[in-house]
Amino acid sequence: MRIQRKLTLLLLFFCSFSFAQNISGEKVFRTYCWGCHHQTSVAFGPSFQEIADARTKGEIQGYIVAPKSLYEQFGHKRSVMPSFEGKLSQEEINAITHFIYTYKSKKDN
Ligand code: HEC
């Protein structure tokens, strides 16, 4: 009985783990951002490396959902980036933010 309960818990653990892994930042990037942003080189928009070095995770998440209200504060003259509010789930936003941060080159903050 005890071992069965342990096995069930283990199974549940692995199921939820693989479910969480389904939302990949890389996939969100390839699907929604890649045409305009590249990882380390400037494309239509700034590179992820540049973004990760300059912004907090909160700022990045804010920009993804509301670029039109943040672009001036971020130093851009105009805003052509579309808002992803309602298009990406919070999990996808977390995943893409984490993905952007993997390109951070400055380790000081
Ligand atoms: C149609 C092109 C386009 C798409 C698609 C796009 N972006 Fe952008 N993004 C831009 C441009 C251009 C800028 C520069 C400012 C602006 O236009 O708003 C920008 C700016 C940003 C900034 C702020 C940069 C800074 O530090 O000043 C972030 C963060 C960002 N994009 C993240 C994303 C993410 C994440 C995605 C995908 C979910 C994405 N963008 C999709 C074009 C795009």
How many Å is the Cα radius of gyration of the chain?
A: 18
Ligand 1 atom nearest to 84, measured from its CA: 38
State whether the beta carbon of 95 lies less than 6 angstroms from ligand 1. Answer: no
Nearest CA to ligand 1 atom 14: 45
**Tens of pLDDT along 24-61?**
999 999 999 999 999 999 999 999 999 999 999 999 99
CA–CA gap between residue 33 and residue 27 (Å, rounded): 10
Nearest CA to ligand 1 atom 21: 45
**Tens of pLDDT along 56-79?**
999 999 999 999 999 999 999 999
- Alpha carbon 56 to chain centroid distance? 12
> What does the pLDDT read at residue 7?
74
Q: Which residue has the higher pLDDT, 32 or 13?
A: 32
Q: 5 is written with which tokens?
A: 């309960």
